[in-house]
Structure 1
Amino acid sequence: MSEEHDESVQEENGSQETITKVTGMYKDWFLDYASYVILERAVPAIEDGFKPVQRRIMHSMKDLDDGRYNKVANIVGHTMQYHPHGDASIADAMVQLGQKDLLIDTQGNWGNILTGDRAAASRYIEARLSKFALDVVYNPKITEWQASYDGRRREPINLPVMFPLLLAQGGEGIAVGLSTKILPHNFIELIDASVKHLKGKRFTLVPDFPTAGIADMTSYNDGLRGGKVRVRARISQRDKNTLVISEIPFGTTTSTLIDSILKANDKGKIKIKRIEDNTAAEVEILVYLPTGISPDKTIDALYAFTNCEVSISPLGCVIEDNKPFFVGVTEMLRRSTDNTVQLLKQELEIKLGEYEEQWHFASLERIFIENRIYRDIEEEETWEGVISAIDKGLKPFTTNLKRAVTEDDIVRLTEIRIKRISKFDIEKAQQKIDALEAQIAEVKHHLANLIDYSIAYFERLKKDYGNGKERKTEIRVFDDVDATKVVIRNTKLYVNREEGFVGTSLKRDEYVCDCSDIDDIIVFTQDGTMMVTKVDSKTFVGKNIIHVAVFKKKDKRTIYNMIYRDGKGGPSYVKRFAVTSITRDREYDLTNGNKNSVVWYFSANPNGEAEVVTILLRQAGSIKKLKWDLDFADILIKGRGSKGNLVTKYAIKRIELKEKGVSTLKPRKIWFDDTVQRLNVDGRGELIGEFRGEDRLLIITQSGLVKTIIPELTTHFDSDMIVLEKWIPKKPISAIYYDGEKERYYVKRFLIENEGKEESFISDHSDSQLEIVSTDWKPMADVEFTKERGKDRKPNMEVNLEEFIAIKGINALGNQLTKDKINQISLLEPLPYEPPKQVPADELEVVDEETLSGTDEINSSKASNNKSDDHNAGGSKGQGRLF
């Protein structure tokens, strides 16, 4: 719209207001602001790894550097000559640099990254450049300079950093329209990676955090967008009622961690008694548990519901050629290393030029004095004549010089003092020239072998500064924590069976079980429908509920036994099935789909139990058999959609439970995955064995502790565990240990008498230690003796531990092994032994878990009373309901 048209409109409307378009101005100004924030504030440069404020702080510290500490307030004030912002932003940036403990040598209270405590005011704390910073960050001769913001001083465009500093320190910033999050990496690993790159080898980089912790780097994705790092606190069990958090995840503090634990406790996700923060130089948070709460489940719950596990999403964004550039950490390191090589080359070339210039003038000086050319100027009366005379006198001797003699060279010769000429020593002058020639040759050799020189440079950095910079964060693959398995179930679930409601607010109705607000519940109704829904205060699921329970995903061991009538007057069928996966809030019809179907009998069996029921028919017509038994063990487990086996085509009067049954599933196979240090039933790692309900695991640690536990998949294991196997109660444990008090080696054999109790089987002296332990029936040990001075070494002794000592109590001292000094004890192959024969597990099995997915019908003729004695033994946890 033109201005003339605007004015005419205003005149017609009688308005005196004017309209000013700001579109172009807004667009330009916003773009300028966005560019400024990206380039000058938030994102580091790839060349030196610094943001502008950090670069200006480092430059100011170099300006002020005299080897002594400076007040941070003084450094901040000096930095304001280069940085056009307030002192608070500069001080904060400097504290962050100082806390990374690499470039700045700090003194005073600089805060605590573990607790989140802030640093003292800048007038109270002091700083100076570290030796590492002076070594790798500065070289004015190869630095490019620019005018400061007010033009009064000059500042570096980029500092000549000869180290992958950005990856070592990490960097984080939020700009306009983009952000960056580069995680810190290990100092030594970065140097090793740089050396590998220079040698043409492949390398891999993963973060290392100053707060330590445990991290899963599987999805790191080279630090690019879409990557993820899972970091966990290090939690250990001090005793059965106390957990200790000794390391925290990166990005958290002890305060935020404790707050998240208290919040989870208030919401009922976990249950703790109290929490205590003893953090000083090292993290120590004590979590006290109420009696009866599982420490292993609580550890998993802490990972699932608190900041004891955090997920960090890296995003590699840097400034290159005044533009944002998204790049992975591998490419960052390559570019940094290549940049270091070029900086080293420039440094060598400058040094070579300086040496050659020194050699040139030293040679000229020697010619000038040795040939007494200075006498040629005695009769000259003008400056031009002096220059000409010296030039003429030098010409016969300058053939071996590396460049032509200039007037500036001659002027420098005229500035030599008479005293120096009179004390000139030809031999010393030649020695100086020879030394310079050696330095020139050395520099030329380095330039000719620049890669080898660069590798030596990185290895020197590692030697000089790598001490104490070993990896802090442990790399481990995490096993996902199933929140539903570790949440504390502190809410009660109720059911109104007739009206069809379930929920936590129906306190006047029938109590079902304890649950949590993240649980799913599974419901079966008398018309043969099934639904899974989330726990809520009150939910309608269908009238005439016959079974309700907390639903476990992928549960193959809970088997449902069901007899139903198909339609109003149709035949009755029997089926067994598991429910492993569903769509939440969807109704599933478990019958054949005909209207007015009804469930006669239903039971839920947590371990696949198969009971025997009695079928009673109504008297009608010429039916001869009105009563018979049906054994669910004869029915194959199939999918929930299967029709089932025919029971009878006649009307059923009622069904009665005759006797409970035993499990028809195989013993559960359990594996131990050493990578994640967890038990599993998925076939990962080493097979531990097949376990029934009463079977236990045997655990022995290097510290001489032994215990048996029920094999729960949530169990955590100590790092010094040396034995993990299925426990055979009558199988003895043999051990040789050193008693610190008696300073002797002892042999003992014992059985575990207290199931579930952790006991020590070596003496509690601080010097006592376990040498070997064996769970073989007939273990053999080899004893190597120490050679005594002036004597031949005593031959090794083989010890049959079974014959050496009888089985005694776990607290017995044992028998002394020998009085001679021992150098080493090692286990040999055990003697052959046939343990007592047991009934193979296969002979007790009826059906395998792998058959749960079948859908075909089976022949109903098997539904007869032929239950074996094996299946009559034992009881069932499943509860049947009769209708």
Structure 2
Amino acid sequence: MTKAKQTGEIRETPLADALGERYLSYALSTIMSRSLPDVRDGLKPVHRRLLFAMRQLGLVSNQGHKKSARVVGDVIGKYHPHGDTAIYDALVRLAQDFAQRYPLIDGQGNFGSMDGDPPAAMRYTEARLTPVAELLLEGIDEDAVDFRDTYDGESQEPVVLPAAFPNLLANGSQGIAVGMATSIPPHNVAELCDALGLIIQEEMLAATPRQVATAELVRFVKGPDFPTGGVLVEAPDAILNAYETGRGSFRLRARWEVEKLGHGLYQIVISEIPYQVQKSRLVEKIAELMQAKKLAMLGDIRDESTTDVRLVLEPKTRNVDPAVLMESLFRQTELENRISLNMNLLDREGVPRVMTLREALRDYLAHREEVLRRRTTHRLDHIARRLEILSGYLIAYLNLDEVIRIIREEDEPKQELMSRFALTDLQAESILNMRLRSLRKLEEIEIQKEHDALTKEQADLTDLMAKEARRWKVISYQVADLKKRFGEDTALGKRRTDVDGPPSETVIPLEAMVEREPVTVICSAKGWIRTVRGHLTEDADTKYKEGDEGRYIIPGETTDKLLVFSSDGKFFTIGVDKLPRGRGFGEPLRLMIDLAQDQEIVAMFIHKPGRRLLLAASDGRGFLAKEEDVLAQTRGGRQVVNPGEGASAAICIPAEGDTVAVVGTNRRMIVFNLDEVPEMQRGRGVILQKYAGGKLADVKIFNLADGLSWILNGGRVRTETDLLTWRMKRAGAGRQAPRGFPLNNRFT
């Protein structure tokens, strides 16, 4: 590779190196200058530039508003060379009280709504800073933070704000960078102040400092506090682990209550919905579920919201349990959602990393201590300059006549004053610039008072700079004052999100999720499955694909569960309401369950709680199983029968009776008591019948008193009551089947 020595020279560079270098530059720019907030002020560059530009425009909280377009124009022209839409979107979000726990911009006009309505154009809205934003900017003119050149080099912008307000955790932040992201929910400032105070007392001011544990901080910071309220239903251990690791999630539910209407009727009113959920979309989703008959217990929903949220839910009947109805809504809608916590931040050194709650608070305090030192140093420099000037004034008053003579008669009065009275350049210049009216005796007294006061302040600030403990006490007072301004007894500071433990497990009947309706499950020989409304008979005219035929026609209801047993011994469970409906041919069953291509369906039936099944493989082994034990939770199914080598699952029948009859392909039959078959949850089972040169053909369970019956050709039924010839203990070889037994060795 050749090195370029002058502008315009062409270099030969491998494409991979060139792409890698440029992509790395892009990634770093995205991480550092766009997506991740700074742990010190909790802001991204666009937000920081917005607030700084508004301060430069004089848009403080006690002054009038100005057009948002003016603000956006200043930000684009001086600090942030990006599109106006992106900047205005950032401004709008900082002004939305349903998006920001403590809004940084006081907006006037249409700034959007919880329904997802867009804000008005920037030429129609106006903005100014809030007192919270002014706290973030407090001391910025006192050398509290570093400044850097703007993109065009014509002016300067702050690298970070002084941040007398813990904005990172108070308002939270979200962003997606290259290879990393951040997600921090908002918190209550009063609780953060308590946590900050604990860290100061135990880690900075204690006689024997120690590191505060996260569990101690969580006693104060109970969890996120969202601007839209709601109820946090998360286990304390999960909350603690999230703050200890910097990663986790919080389960948030809507706030609701029951309103009695008389005559046993009631309605449910939702007054707060989860954070960042669009109310209009939520109502649409619930209406769609009602139309799809997925909310069988809900009769109607109305949005009666004005400035406050009010969603009214009407149950279908007065007998519906409100808790069960709400639990079904929590499971199917955004009335419950999860808010993630990923504290991926730029630390004080500008390095992106995941921080714990304590680390984030500790870095914020370190920033506040640095701001205090820099502001104190700036004030000391200002005092020293002023004291130097005042000392010069006092010298002038003591020698007033001579000073007047020098000014009137000398060609170079400044140099003469400096040499005559040992004045500095600043003192001489200040004396020359002094107004004649300041030569009164009263002014001399005032100057002496100011000199004494500044000298005292200088001594105090010098002591403050020399003693770290004093600085932390000052910061502790600032934190306490902040808590007083945003405490629980203030409208803005009062906690809005209640923190409860995980809700008790509410058993929701399937009828609450799906409307009960009679249907018939139809499955063809090639595995195409569907449902049709109503109960069909076996001889109903049912159409199948060309070359296919019917296999299963099963009456049921939409609230039922369909069990499918395959030849590899697995059970699959499908909700009947999840099956395709209509007049078509349905869908392949293998798309709904993970049935291996080399396996076949052995049985298909509707689940009946409390029933037992006899399961058997082709090698003559089997056992009894409860239906509850074979239900599968995933599409991968549940392995219940473990067929032996060369064998496959062959039988699945209800265990309804007291006697078992087993017949093999060698036409030998055995009859024994059902209680000889053990009940198991899974396994290979016990030997039902031994085979020398065959395998299991069929099994039937019946009541011995009624006799054993089978179907002959033509549909006639034959019943054998004298079974003594075939009665023997389980695991025998059996005897030749009765005369007239079907040639296919099947009972049905």
TM-score, normalised with respect to structure 1: 0.58
Cα pair distance change 1:156/1:86, threshold 3 Å: same
Query: In structure 1, which of residues 180, 183, 186 is the aligned counterpart of residue 182 of structure 2?
Result: 180
Where does 1:753-764 land on structure 2 (aligned, <5 Å)? none
Structure 1 residue 335 displacement after superposition: 0.9
Task: Name 2:253's counterpart in structure 1.
Answer: 232
Structure 1 residue 454 displacement after superposition: 0.1
Distance across 2 between alignment mates of 1:616 and 1:318? 69
Task: Name 1:355's counterpart in structure 2.
Answer: 383
Q: Deviations over 1:179-221 (max 9, x none)?
A: 3322222222222222222223442343221111122455452
Task: Name 1:75's counterpart in structure 2.
Answer: 71
Task: Name 1:53's counterpart in structure 2.
Answer: 46
The secondary structure found in structure 2 opposite 1:53 is helix
Cα pair distance change 1:317/1:566, threshold 3 Å: closer
Q: Deviations over 1:5-29 (max 9, x none)?
A: xxxxxxxxxxxxxx99866655544
Cα pair distance change 1:578/1:645, threshold 3 Å: farther
Task: Name 1:475's counterpart in structure 2.
Answer: 499
Assess if the C-alpha contact under 8 Å between 2:136 and 2:161 holds in 1: no
Higher relative contact order (CA 8 A, sep 6+): 2
Structure 1 residue 451 displacement after superposition: 0.5
Assess if the C-alpha contact under 8 Å between 1:567 and 1:597 holds in 2: yes
Structure 1 residue 299 displacement after superposition: 1.3
Assess if the C-alpha contact under 8 Å between 2:185 and 2:224 holds in 1: yes
Query: In structure 1, which of residues 167, 170, 174 is the aligned counterpart of residue 172 of structure 2?
Result: 170
Cα pair distance change 1:214/1:379, threshold 3 Å: closer
Cα pair distance change 1:520/1:225, threshold 3 Å: farther
Assess if the C-alpha contact under 8 Å between 1:229 and 1:312 holds in 2: yes
Distance across 2 between alignment mates of 1:54 and 1:580? 57
Distance across 2 between alignment mates of 1:130 and 1:644? 78
Cα pair distance change 1:345/1:643, threshold 3 Å: same
The secondary structure found in structure 2 opposite 1:158 is coil
The secondary structure found in structure 1 opposite 2:703 is strand
Task: Name 2:9's counterpart in structure 1.
Answer: none
Structure 1 residue 457 displacement after superposition: 0.6
Structure 1 residue 641 displacement after superposition: 5.5
Distance across 2 between alignment mates of 1:653 and 1:440? 102
- The CA RMSD over aligned residues, in Å, is 4.8
Task: Name 2:484's counterpart in structure 1.
Answer: 463
Distance across 2 between alignment mates of 1:476 and 1:298? 20
Task: Name 1:263's counterpart in structure 2.
Answer: 288
Distance across 2 between alignment mates of 1:581 and 1:154? 68
Cα pair distance change 1:289/1:20, threshold 3 Å: same
Task: Name 1:375's counterpart in structure 2.
Answer: 402
Cα pair distance change 1:84/1:385, threshold 3 Å: closer
Q: Deviations over 1:589-637 (max 9, x none)?
A: 599999999899725xxxxxxxxx77799xxxxxxxxxx999x9x9998
Q: Structure 2: where are the runs of 5+ without partners?
A: 3-11, 204-211, 538-552, 581-585, 591-598, 662-671, 689-698, 707-729, 731-746
Cα pair distance change 1:504/1:455, threshold 3 Å: same
Distance across 2 between alignment mates of 1:255 and 1:42? 29
The percentage of counterpart residues that share the same residue type is 24
Query: In structure 1, which of residues 85, 88, 93 is the aligned counterpart of residue 85 of structure 2?
Result: 88
Cα pair distance change 1:382/1:329, threshold 3 Å: same
Assess if the C-alpha contact under 8 Å between 2:396 and 2:403 holds in 1: no
Structure 1 residue 456 displacement after superposition: 0.3
Task: Name 1:701's counterpart in structure 2.
Answer: none
Assess if the C-alpha contact under 8 Å between 1:215 and 1:476 holds in 2: yes
Assess if the C-alpha contact under 8 Å between 2:571 and 2:631 holds in 1: no
Where does 1:350-749 land on structure 2 (aligned, <5 Å)? 350-369=378-397, 371-372=398-399, 374-375=401-402, 378=405, 381-382=409-410, 387-388=415-416, 391-393=419-421, 406-424=424-442, 427-444=445-462, 446-447=464-465, 448=467, 449-466=470-487, 467-468=490-491, 469-479=493-503, 485=510, 487-490=513-516, 492=518, 494=520, 505=531, 507-509=535-537, 512-516=555-559, 520-522=561-563, 531-535=571-575, 536=579, 548-549=606-607, 559-560=610-611, 579=629, 585=637, 588-589=640-641, 602-603=655-656, 639=681, 654-655=702-703
Distance across 1 between alignment mates of 2:531 and 2:29? 57
Letter of the 2:64 partner, please give it.
R
Task: Name 1:244's counterpart in structure 2.
Answer: 269
Q: Deviations over 1:119-149 (max 9, x none)?
A: 2222222221222322331422214333322
Task: Name 2:543's counterpart in structure 1.
Answer: none
Query: In structure 2, which of residues 228, 231, 240 is the aligned counterpart of residue 211 of structure 1?
Result: 228
Task: Name 1:730's counterpart in structure 2.
Answer: none
Q: Deviations over 1:351-397 (max 9, x none)?
A: 2332343344334423431x335526626843557644565446xxx
Assess if the C-alpha contact under 8 Å between 1:147 and 1:153 holds in 2: yes
Cα pair distance change 1:213/1:250, threshold 3 Å: same
Assess if the C-alpha contact under 8 Å between 1:528 and 1:599 holds in 2: no
Assess if the C-alpha contact under 8 Å between 1:260 and 1:306 holds in 2: yes
Cα pair distance change 1:39/1:393, threshold 3 Å: closer
Assess if the C-alpha contact under 8 Å between 1:600 and 1:654 holds in 2: no
Structure 1 residue 528 displacement after superposition: 14
Structure 1 residue 422 displacement after superposition: 3.1
Structure 1 residue 452 displacement after superposition: 0.6
The secondary structure found in structure 2 opposite 1:228 is strand
Distance across 1 between alignment mates of 2:406 and 2:570? 122
**Number of aligned residues:** 601
Task: Name 1:135's counterpart in structure 2.
Answer: 135
Distance across 2 between alignment mates of 1:567 and 1:164? 71
Letter of the 2:557 partner, please give it.
D
Distance across 2 between alignment mates of 1:652 and 1:76? 82
Task: Name 1:312's counterpart in structure 2.
Answer: 339
Letter of the 2:424 partner, please give it.
T
Cα pair distance change 1:210/1:501, threshold 3 Å: same
Letter of the 1:153 partner, please give it.
S
Cα pair distance change 1:437/1:339, threshold 3 Å: same
Task: Name 1:193's counterpart in structure 2.
Answer: 195
Structure 1 residue 453 displacement after superposition: 0.3
Assess if the C-alpha contact under 8 Å between 2:40 and 2:168 holds in 1: no
Distance across 2 between alignment mates of 1:417 and 1:172? 57
Q: Which stretch has the larger CA shift, 29-38 or 149-158? A: 29-38
Mapped pair 1:284 → 2:284:
no
Q: Structure 1: where are the runs of 5+ without partners?
A: 3-18, 395-404, 551-557, 604-612, 618-627, 659-859, 861-881
Task: Name 1:155's counterpart in structure 2.
Answer: 157
The secondary structure found in structure 1 opposite 2:429 is helix
Q: Which structure features the higher share of helix residues?
A: 2
Distance across 2 between alignment mates of 1:223 and 1:280? 40
Structure 1 residue 543 displacement after superposition: 8.8
Assess if the C-alpha contact under 8 Å between 1:575 and 1:642 holds in 2: no
Cα pair distance change 1:275/1:560, threshold 3 Å: closer
Distance across 1 between alignment mates of 2:52 and 2:604? 78
Q: Deviations over 1:611-667 (max 9, x none)?
A: xx77799xxxxxxxxxx999x9x9998756597999xxxx99951799xxxxxxxxx
The secondary structure found in structure 2 opposite 1:336 is helix
Mapped pair 1:296 → 2:323:
yes
Assess if the C-alpha contact under 8 Å between 2:571 and 2:630 holds in 1: no
Assess if the C-alpha contact under 8 Å between 1:493 and 1:504 holds in 2: no
Letter of the 1:235 partner, please give it.
W
The secondary structure found in structure 2 opposite 1:579 is helix
The secondary structure found in structure 2 opposite 1:243 is strand
Cα pair distance change 1:276/1:656, threshold 3 Å: farther
Assess if the C-alpha contact under 8 Å between 1:374 and 1:390 holds in 2: no
TM-score, normalised with respect to structure 2: 0.67
Q: Deviations over 1:678-733 (max 9, x none)?
A: xxxxxxxxxxxxxxxxxxxxxxxxxxxxxxxxxxxxxxxxxxxxxxxxxxxxxxxx
Cα pair distance change 1:644/1:458, threshold 3 Å: same
Distance across 1 between alignment mates of 2:82 and 2:524? 73
Task: Name 1:684's counterpart in structure 2.
Answer: none
Distance across 2 between alignment mates of 1:49 and 1:566? 65
